Structure 1
């Protein structure tokens, strides 16, 4: 099996930010950035992002100027420095403690929506920044106490780290690696119907988290064997996709099947089948759906279809 290159970037990649990680400890720089009239703020409310045009199918990310963000910042939620966008400092700010955040914003200033529902319609840079803010604020709101001693934690590195006030332990945002793979036997691809989507007709690639002490290739082979009973040989990297929903990165692969008889794990899959290219291209006619357009799963499938 030849390696199949990624045809185009995945959703949530292509961030325009210079993360400027070397400036996070510079208190004077961060204070000046917060006060800069050109600063931008990315509000997050209960894992939702501020946008307008969602209902019309023309979503646009809304980043707030300091004046527009003042009431949101005064709500007292966590904040963090994300980086520089063409020299303009960009911050994430969480307003989840507020029951209704819209009165904190200028009138008619959009609303909060699930980023995953519209990411495929947003410009790549906007989707990436919103995903960055969402993932970091999720971590901040759920790591207020030390996992070592249980003491309260305080923000460090302009909100990109936490330090325990009791024992001094340092805590950093966690990203969980997950492998996602399209297994093929040359003419057919293996797709599964997950137990997580019982009311859907979607068949998708297999996926799972990497375990401690395991290589990515080993994780691909283990997950496919566990979920579908298929032995995998060659494994080829395709691309990656940040997936901060809440804290993962998807590592995509194409994998070669060495066996063909499927034995599913009923706790993971309701069904798994081999599909031809024709069946996948005409999936609606054959009575099943494919993964969402902004997912790396869909990209793995589409690039395999086009490789023939």
Structure 2
């Protein structure tokens, strides 16, 4: 009897877990994605005609953030991003030939021209902006139908530093200038394949002017008068609590606070 493998089995942005949010153990398939050669941890997609086994359920990845440790979420994030990468690179971007998975590393190799395609992450900056000792800038995404306010965030552009991205995104979205930009932490964010890089900065000048296609509202809020903020487990929540409570974004065991 073959040894069972711990399995990350996904259906889009949902993961198959038991009632205690633990991963199932299953027999490996030839098509499974292995994290490392020889290990017993695999990832795969749930097939369209495949039934959900008894005792298991599909749970949104975002929901697992509130009950899993950082390490557990990062492993799941790695799994879903590798599966997404493999699905999107079945053909060579140079010559169009069908690719093959490399045996010893995460690479899709073209047998015709030998070009290799490796997984890529998209760097995003997310910035917590304070004014004085008791105010924080929070913004509401124009596409968000809830009343939740979050932080200014956006993709890093080609040729710019992370600090330049922080300044540019803030000025573009709310028209403000910053000073004292400081790195805080980072978090893999598999929606679809981002790396959130967190910064703290201070208000330096300007009046709030909204980029209306991106931001529907932005205000400086007093620490004791915050609106609805992102859920626990997200780096945005940890950043806000870091400023309000004076704690590090993550503790020594890498648990989000």
**What's the TM-score, normalizing by structure 1?**
0.74
The equivalent of 1:48 in structure 2 is: 14
How far off is 1:97 after superposition?
Answer: 3.8
More helix as a share of residues: 1
The equivalent of 1:278 in structure 2 is: 224
* Aligned equivalents of 2:188, 2:206: Cα separation in 1: 31
Structure 1 gaps, min length 5: 1-34, 54-58, 284-288
DSSP 3-state at the match of 1:94: strand
* Aligned equivalents of 2:188, 2:40: Cα separation in 1: 19
* Aligned equivalents of 1:157, 1:226: Cα separation in 2: 44
Where in structure 2 are the equivalents of 1:1-308 lying within 5 Å? Answer: 37=3, 39-53=5-19, 59-64=20-25, 68-70=26-28, 73=29, 78-83=31-36, 89-102=39-52, 105=53, 108-158=54-104, 160-186=106-132, 187-197=134-144, 199-280=145-226, 283=227, 289-307=228-246
* Aligned equivalents of 1:123, 1:36: Cα separation in 2: 30
Q: Count residues in correspondence.
A: 246
How far off is 1:306 after superposition?
Answer: 1.4
Structure 2 gaps, min length 5: 248-257
* Aligned equivalents of 1:149, 1:47: Cα separation in 2: 31
Larger RCO (CA under 8 A, 6+ residues apart): 1
